[in-house]
Amino acid sequence: MTRIVTRAVPSRAQWQLEQEGVHPLLARIYAARGIRSRAELDTALSGLLPPATLSGVEDAATVLADAIEADARILIIADYDCDGATACAVGVRALRAFGARVDYLAPNRFAYGYGLSPQIVDLAATSCDGGPPDLIVTVDNGIASVEGVAHAQELGIAVLVTDHHLPGEVLPDAEVIVNPNQPGCAFASKHLAGVGVIFYVMLALRAELRSRGAFVDGRKEPNLATLLDLVALGTVADVVRLDRNNRILVSQGLQRIRSGRLTPGLRALFAAAGRDPAKASAFDLGFLIGPRLNAAGRLADMSVGIECLLCDDESRALTLAQQLDALNRERREIEAGMQEQALARLEDLDSLAATGMAGGEQAPPAAVALFDPDWHQGVVGILAARIRERLHRPVFAFARGDDGQIKGSGRSIPGLHLRDALDLVSKRAPGLLLRFGGHAAAAGATLREEDFPRFRELFAAVAGELLSPADLMHTLETDGELESGYFSLDTVRMLEDEVWGQGFPAPVFTDEFVVDSRRVLKDKHLKLRLRKGNQRFDAIRFNATESPEGDRIRAAFRLSINDFNGVQSTQLMIEGFA
C-alpha cells in the first residue's frame, strides 16, 4: 500500500531563500529539504571541506609522496562497481600526473570475492612488471580486509586503505587508513563515496608534493579539477547521500561535463547511451552511465570499464564503451528473466510459504530472502532492488557460489539499517554468516546453501523487530501541488539543472487530473493523456499498468521533457496514485 504525503515547508526558511534571490519554486523545494540560506546552495570548490579534517589523509599523502620519490611500484586494487572503477581511474590518473609508477588490478569478483583478500594479495604480488608492488592502495574497499592486509605485510608489501564502508570491530593493520567512517574521524561528511575519498587523498598528496618543492623548475602542477567528472559519476552511481559536500563535488563534475571538459571514456559512454553531455544531469549519471560501467563488474570483471575511463584515445574509448553497452544489454536480459522468476514465486501462494511467507498470507513478511541455484551472482543486487521496490520490504537475493556456498546481495528500506540487521543475525546464530558487510541501504552476505532457510527465517524475524508498521507502508513524499504556470519547459529545464539524488530527492508533485485516455505500451508501461483546466499533458508510468478507475485521478509525478520529432513538450512521469 502506498501513502502519498506532502513535505512540510518551513515558511520562514522559504521566505529567507526568496529574499536572497532564489526562484520561488526552488525556494519552496529547498526549504523542504532543510536548506535555510542561499549560502548552503553555493557549489563553488572553495566550499569543500578541508582535506586536513579527514583522518589519515595527511599520513597517506606522506606515504604516497615517499613512494613517488623512491620510484616505488604502486598498485591500486579496485572494487568491481562504478564507484570502484571511477575511484581507480581517479587514483591512476592523478598518480601518473604526479610522476608515480602506478598500475591497477581489478580482480574478478567471482573468482576472488570482495575486498583485499589474501588470494588477491598473491595475485597482486605477480601482477607488476619488475616484481611485486611496494605499495598497495585499495579504493572503495579494504576496511574489512584484516587477513589480506596481514598477508601483504608478510610479503613485505605496504598497504594504504582508502574506503568509505562501515568498519567492523577490528580494523586492518595497514600503514594508513583513510575512511570518514572509521572511529575517531571528525570529517563532517560521513557520506563520501569511495571515489570522493581517493580524490581527497590526491588533494592532500598534491599539497604534500607542493611543500616538497615538486612543482618548480617549470614543472606544472596537475589540475585535479579535471577529475571531477569521474568523481561526480562515482558519487551519484553509488547512491551515497548528497550532503552539501557531495553536492559540490557532483555539481562541479556536471559543470565540466556540460561544458565538454570530460574524459574521452566518459564522453564515449554518453555516446553509447545516446545522451548529449551538454544536457547531462545526475539522472544520466545514475541511471544511464553508471549501469553501463556496473555491467562489466557484474558479468565479467571491471577492467574494461576502468580502461574506458583511463583511455585518452577517442576511438578506442568508443570501442570500449560499446563493449560496456553490450554487457549492459546482456545484464538487462538476465535481470528480466530472474525478476520474472522471483515475482512468479512471490505471487504463487504455495511458493510464498516456501520463501518464508507464513501460511499463505497475502502480505509478505517484514523482510524477504530469495535463492535460486540458476541465478547469476552479478545480478542478484539489482534483483533485490527491484523486488524491494515492488514489495517495500528489505530483500536479499542469493545465487550459488563455490564450495557449497551461496552469495547474496541485499537492499533495504528506510527504517532498517541493513548491515546492523545482519550483525544481529550473526550474533543470534554464530557461524551462520560466513561473511557479511555493507551499510544502511545495501549489504552483502555469504552463507552455506543448506543454511539458507535458517537465514531467511532469522532475517525476517530481525526485520520484524526493528521495523514498525509505519515503516512497512510505502510512503511517497511529494512537494505538493504545482501552480499551473510552472507546468512549462522552462521549469523542467530549471529543475534539471539542479543536483538531486539520495538524501536530496528530485521534486515530485501531486495533483488531480481528468483522464482523457489510457493505454498500455509494450504490455508493461501505462500511457495516459491528462487534463488540468485548459492544459493537457502526456503522462507515463514505467513498469506498471494499473491505475485508479474513473475519469479523475490524483497522481504523484515528476516533470520531464518529451522530445518527439524535434518538438518538445512537458511530460509527466507518474510515480504513484493516491
Mean pLDDT confidence for 93-121: 90
Q: Say what the pLDDT of residue 363 is.
A: 65
Q: Which residues contact 563 (CB under 8 A, 6 or more apart)?
A: none
DSSP bridge pairs for 397: 370, 409
| Beta-strand pair 442-448/405-411 | antiparallel
d(CA 518, CA 245): 43
**Torsion from C-alpha of 424, 403, 113, 462, nearest 10 degrees:** -10
Q: Say what the pLDDT of residue 355 is.
A: 45
Which residue is listed with cell 595497514?
174
- Which range (24-38, 144-158, 163-177, 435-449) has the least confidence? 435-449
Sheet holding 158-162, edge to edge: 101-105, 73-78, 135-139, 158-162, 176-178
Query: For the chain, what is the mean pLDDT?
Result: 92
In CATH, 348-472 is 3.90.580.10: no
Mean pLDDT confidence for 257-271: 98
Q: Tens digit of pLDDT for each residue in 358-406?
A: 334 456 789 999 999 999 998 999 999 989 988 899 999 999 998 899 9
Q: Tens digit of pLDDT for each residue in 211-242?
A: 999 999 888 999 999 999 999 999 999 989 99
Three-class DSSP category at 13: helix
Sketch the domain layout of the chain as residue ranges.
Answer: 46-327, 348-472, 475-577
Residue type present at position 225: A
Q: Is 274 exposed, middle or buried (0-12, 13-18, 19+ CB in 10 A)?
A: exposed
CATH (one of 1.10.10.10, 2.40.10.10, 2.40.50.460, 1.10.260.40) for 475-577: 2.40.50.460
Q: Tens digit of pLDDT for each residue in 493-523?
A: 999 999 999 899 999 999 999 999 999 998 8
* Contact assessment for residue 122 and residue 148, using Cβ atoms and an 8 Å cutoff: no
pTM above 0.85, yes or no: yes
Q: Which residues contact 322 (CB under 8 A, 6 or more apart)?
A: 272
Q: Look at residue 248 and tell me whether its pLDDT is greater than 80.
A: yes
Which residue is listed with cell 539543472?
497
Residue length, the chain? 578
CATH topology of domain 46-327: inorganic pyrophosphatase (n-terminal core) (3.90.1640)
* Contact assessment for residue 299 and residue 286, using Cβ atoms and an 8 Å cutoff: no
Same topology between domain 46-327 and domain 348-472: no
Helix locations, 157-277, DSSP H? 194-211, 228-237, 244-258, 264-272
